[in-house]
Amino acid sequence: MEKIKIILVFVFIAVLSSCQTYKEERTDIDTGNIKVSKSVEIPKDENAAPVAGFAEAQNADRIITFSGIGDKVHIKYGQTVNFIYDGINPEQTYIKYESTDDGYNLELANRNDPVVVRFWNLCQNYVVASPSLTNIDIAPNLNLEQIVWTPRADGTWEVRIGTVERGCKSQALQELQKLRTKEYEKNLPRK
């Protein structure tokens, strides 16, 4: 009987100390990452790539809170959205964009995770973290089309199937062309 009492006391102490540890861990959570860190505008033009903003948009149509990798949301063409990162470091993530018939599917992804993009329509585009981490799956009816990679100002990449000559639009290409000034071309290293 004495041994049972001693065991019960130890079990009680173990349960009590584990509850205190949990409580201390919960109160030490850093909430410094909870912030609006950027915005995006989904142009009204069908198949035009999203335009990334580095600051919060003043007149956002929606505010989306990301609380974990894999969070997904759909945004329609013509909307501007502000993002809130709840306890997530935005520098270690990016937002993967997949074009749809009426806008884009957005998914919060880790910058270092590989992704698969699937093309089934001409001019379809995605925004991904890096070409080296991206695998491409092309529908048989598109196997003769070009895959075009364009860097974006926020450090991500636009990948689309189809060229602008084929009628595909690229907001990333338009923004890149603005940066290619005569001064830039003059300083470009050549063979």
Domain boundaries, the chain: 35-187
- Over range 110-121, report the average pLDDT: 91
pLDDT tens-digit readout, 35-45: 566 777 777 77
Provide the pLDDT for residue 132.
92
Most confident region among 9-18, 135-144, 176-185 by mean pLDDT: 135-144
Q: What are the distances in angstroms from CA 93 to CA 27, 118, 190?
A: 25, 21, 34
Contact 37, 154 (CB under 8 A): no
Look-up of token digits 């502000």: 82
Closest among 52, 99, 109, 108 to 77, alpha carbons compared: 99
pLDDT tens column, 117-140: 999 999 998 889 899 999 999 999
* pLDDT tens for each residue of 12-26: 454 444 444 333 333
Q: What is the pTM of this model?
A: 0.61
Tell which wins on pLDDT, 74 or 185.
Answer: 74
pLDDT of residue 27: 37
